[in-house]
């Protein structure tokens, strides 16, 4: 039976915030709202006092399904599959069961900018997606459009075996043992996750060969046939080698000479730094006290993002004018001096928000603020201040160190404040310090000094 109230949807084609959208006008109906929310990138506009969706063929098809009464509930909502040569994009109304299904794939990712879930296009992935979603699936195949660009790449992928299949079953016990060993040694959870994933990739690539029978030449083939061919970064190659070294030496106790694996040549990059004026213009326009305090504290104390989010109320010692960073990178504690100005900002923030456990908490009391939300705060601040550089939170830490150096602070103290294990890491800031560079006189000027 046709759901006749759906026929009362009126469509109006508009341009909203520079984007072509379809405005939907209908009487309030909770069930209908749930169905509209199932359309990819559907949004409610307080200004328009209505729902609106992208002006695309996908939205039109979804609206037709709603109008024809084919969509009975969210579980019937359409799923849009964009098929590319090396990846699949899935767009659907967010629900736990479908998200859990996507997360069962290796190398899944949520692409926030496009509002899609991405999984690799290899093996039986397309067939698995079709079998799971069934009639809900609406497919768009883009492969013909890019075939002329991708033919050579596909050949390289086939030759390099970069299209990894599912992790072999026998690997689970090895990976579990590896994780247990790292936790006993008190590796951070982020390191456990990264190293476990690195070894998972290695074992999947070298399957069906069992870990005990893997030889040095297999590892060399992996580095050349997977990491280099697919253009993975220097740091990822190092991470894989570090993980393999631990796994084979500490878990399998094999005679594999992982140390002989070629590491990439050192890759040095100068830190990105904002000027004092840019930092001021970034922080001043922020009206939200929590957002302003969080970004200010990163710059005022040179904190890493994780250090800020893990700060607890007890870590602020206002009497001694100190901030305590506990068990940060390398499992080290450190003390950072905080000024009266910083303490005043923190007291004002505490008076308004009254956090329970962590200094910066999210929607749920007692739970830390999310990293993604903090990144978004910075992005909005940059947009508001007109800064077009691709600023990240770590730029504020780099700026803190550089500005300290320019103010005459000794490098040894800066090393302690940043929590660097080696002074060589801290010395890189001498390369971006304006004060140091401006002292250098170019020999070009000496050519004309007598004129």
Phi, psi of 166 (to 5 degrees): -70, 150
Strand partners, 81: 90, 139
* 329 has catalytic annotation: yes
Cα distance between residue 304 and residue 391, in whole Å: 14
- Per the annotation, the verdict on 5 as an active-site residue is no
Torsion of Cα atoms, 199 then 201 then 202 then 206, to 10°: 140
Residue 161 annotated among the catalytic residues of the structure: no
Question: Is position 420 annotated as part of the catalytic site?
Answer: yes
In the residue annotation, 304 being an active-site residue is answered as: yes
Q: Respond yes or no: is residue 429 known to be catalytic.
A: yes
By the 10 Å C-beta count (0-12 exposed, 13-18 middle, 19+ buried), 378 is classed as: buried
| Catalytic choice (35, 291, 397, 403) | 397
Q: Which of 86, 329, 334, 384 is catalytic?
A: 329
Of 304, 326, 334, 384, which one is the catalytic site residue?
304
Nearest one of 42, 60, 52 to 22, comparing CA atoms? 52
3-state secondary structure of 277: helix
On whether the CB atoms of residues 304 and 403 are closer than 8 A, the answer is no
Concatenated DSSP letters for 313-349?
GGGEETTTTEEEE-S-TTS--EEEE--HHHHHHHHHH
Strand partners, 324: 335
Give the residue numbers marked as catalytic. 304, 329, 394, 397, 420, 429
């Amino acid at each position: 039976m046709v759901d006749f109230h759906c026929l009362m949807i009126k469509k109006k084609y508009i341009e909203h915030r520079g984007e072509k959208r379809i405005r939907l006008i209908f009487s309030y109906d909770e069930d209908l709202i749930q169905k509209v929310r199932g359309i990819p990138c559907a949004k409610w506009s307080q200004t328009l006092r209505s729902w609106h969706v992208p002006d695309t063929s996908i939205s039109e098809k979804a609206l037709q399904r709603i109008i024809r009464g084919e969509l009975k509930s969210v579980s019937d909502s359409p799923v849009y599959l964009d098929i590319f040569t090396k990846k699949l994009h899935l767009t659907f109304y967010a629900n736990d069961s479908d998200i859990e299904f996507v997360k069962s794939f290796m190398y899944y990712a949520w692409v926030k900018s496009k509002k899609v879930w991405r999984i690799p296009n290899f093996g039986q992935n397309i067939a698995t997606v079709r079998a799971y979603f069934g009639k809900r699936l609406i497919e768009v195949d883009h492969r013909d459009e890019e075939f002329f660009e991708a033919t050579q790449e596909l050949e390289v992928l086939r030759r390099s075996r970069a299209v990894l299949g599912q992790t072999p079953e026998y690997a689970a016990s090895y990976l579990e043992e590896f994780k247990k060993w790292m936790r006993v040694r008190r590796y951070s959870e982020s390191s456990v996750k990264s190293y476990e994933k690195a070894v998972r990739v290695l074992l999947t690539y070298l399957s069906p060969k069992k870990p005990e029978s893997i030889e040095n030449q297999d590892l060399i083939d992996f580095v050349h046939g997977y990491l280099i061919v697919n253009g993975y970064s220097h740091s990822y190659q190092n991470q894989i080698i570090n993980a393999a070294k631990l796994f084979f030496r500490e878990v399998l106790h094999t005679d594999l000479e992982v140390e002989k694996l070629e590491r990439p040549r050192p890759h040095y990059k100068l830190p990105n730094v904002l000027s004092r004026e840019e930092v001021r213009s970034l922080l001043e326009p922020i009206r939200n006290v929590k957002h302003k305090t969080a970004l200010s504290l990163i710059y005022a104390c040179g904190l890493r993002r994780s250090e800020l989010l893990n700060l607890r109320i007890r870590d602020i010692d206002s009497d001694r004018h100190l901030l305590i960073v506990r068990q940060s990178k390398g499992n080290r504690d450190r003390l950072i001096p905080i000024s009266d100005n910083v303490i005043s900002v923190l007291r004002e923030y505490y008076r308004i928000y009254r956090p329970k456990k962590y200094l910066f908490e999210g929607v749920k009391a007692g739970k830390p603020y999310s990293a993604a939300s903090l990144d978004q705060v910075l992005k909005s601040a940059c947009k508001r201040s007109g800064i077009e550089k691709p600023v990240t939170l770590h730029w504020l830490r780099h700026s803190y160190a550089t500005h300290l150096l320019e103010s005459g602070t000794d490098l040894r103290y800066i090393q302690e404040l940043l929590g660097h294990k080696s002074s060589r890491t801290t010395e890189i800031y001498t390369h971006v310090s304006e004060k140091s560079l401006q002292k250098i006189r170019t020999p070009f000027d000496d050519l004309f000094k007598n004129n």
